[in-house]
Amino acid sequence: MRIAFIGLGNMGAPMARNLIKAGNELNLFDLNQAVLAELAELGGQISTSPRDAAANSDLVITMLPAAQHVRSVYLSEDGVLAGVRAGTPVLDCSTIDPQTARDVSRAAAAKEVDMGDAPVSGGTGGAAAGTLTFMVGATPALFAAFKPVLEQMGRNIVHCGEVGTGQIAKICNNLLLGISMIGVSEAMALGNALGIDTQVLAGIINSSTGRCWSSDTYNPWPGIIETAPASRGYTGGFGAELMLKDLGLATEAARQAHQPVILGAVAQQLYQAMSLRGDGGKDFSAIVEGYRKKEG
Ligand code: NAD
């Protein structure tokens, strides 16, 4: 199968690598020439624009930073919709707001192109290992067309409903994740300040009712979970800046729906303050540093 893949960053590049490994031919486009050259060595074909990439492909996949990039890659003169053939299945895997997902899909429908949204979870590790979760908002026919391809990049492929529902699932999950990380940070820091061994405390939490992914897999306290970013200086993982973006999407969607997200709004402000301190590039679990005395 010939697949256009546009947006080859921390997530897109390993996803594209897995598609090449599975035997597909890829038409690649990104603004970053270095990553294009690297993937061309594996057999990918470099395109000159999103339009060019989409023009002679059987499927189109995009993985871009935010809504403005998605609009531009699809709707500009040199964009996907200017080149794609009618009837080609198209999927955007970026995390963006549900309304933009619906708007761009509507523009695609005007060209007889069925387009859906499929944001992912699982991080860069999951992208490399091919174990991502895809939350797909699409027509049943589009979901069926993409499922075998998504299985080459992920393990859990979920049809959430119509276009936009993938994004809704993603932002609700990340709203909860942003909040739960702050909760675990407070509990770990309080225990430490009161004098309990943090390893003992984490063990209790992880076999008690406070247990969650932020405590048992991605604990923010250094040294508790060897594989968590906290144990390697908060490098790698999921950047606080991206968490801030997702909380912004959640609070904005909530505003439009007249739905309160009280803890989400507080969490957003805490990550905003972290970003202002210059720590936006650290993994989001470094939010715990706001609860700790600086050493030295
Ligand atoms: P990234 O910034 O590493 O990569 C984005 C890529 O898009 C870059 O290579 C950039 O050059 C390219 N790009 C930007 N504008 C472009 C344009 N106009 N035309 C072509 N290419 C363009 O981002 P990422 O970490 O790969 O994340 C991608 C998306 O996945 C984001 O929406 C993010 O929120 C989401 N996501 C990220 C993670 C993670 O752990 N990094 C996890 C889940 C979801």
Give the pLDDT confidence of 191-225 residue by residue, as tens digits: 999 999 999 999 999 999 999 999 999 999 999 99
- The pTM assigned to this predicted structure is 0.93
pLDDT at 296: 63
Question: Mean of the per-residue pLDDT values for the chain?
Answer: 96
For the chain, what percent of residues have pLDDT higher than 90?
A: 95
**26 phi, psi to nearest 5 deg:** -110, 135
For the chain, what percent of residues have pLDDT higher than 70?
A: 100
Give the pLDDT confidence of 243-291 residue by residue, as tens digits: 999 999 999 999 999 999 999 999 999 999 999 999 999 999 999 999 9
Residues in Cβ contact with 249 at an 8 Å cutoff, skipping those fewer than 6 apart: 95, 96, 97, 167, 171
Rg (CA), the chain: 20
What separation in Å is there between the alpha carbon of 221 and the centre of ligand 1?
Answer: 28
User: Pocket of ligand 1, candidates 8, 10, 17, 271: which has the most ligand atoms within 8 Å of its Cβ, to mutate?
Assistant: 10
Which of 170, 245, 282, 293 is the catalytic position?
170
Measured between alpha carbons, how far is residue 35 from residues 5, 6, 228 in Å? 12, 12, 27
Q: Are 238 and 208 in contact (CB under 8 A)?
A: no
**Stretch 113-119: mean pLDDT, rounded?**
98
**Stretch 141-169: mean pLDDT, rounded?**
98
Catalytic annotation present for 170: yes
**Stretch 58-73: mean pLDDT, rounded?**
97
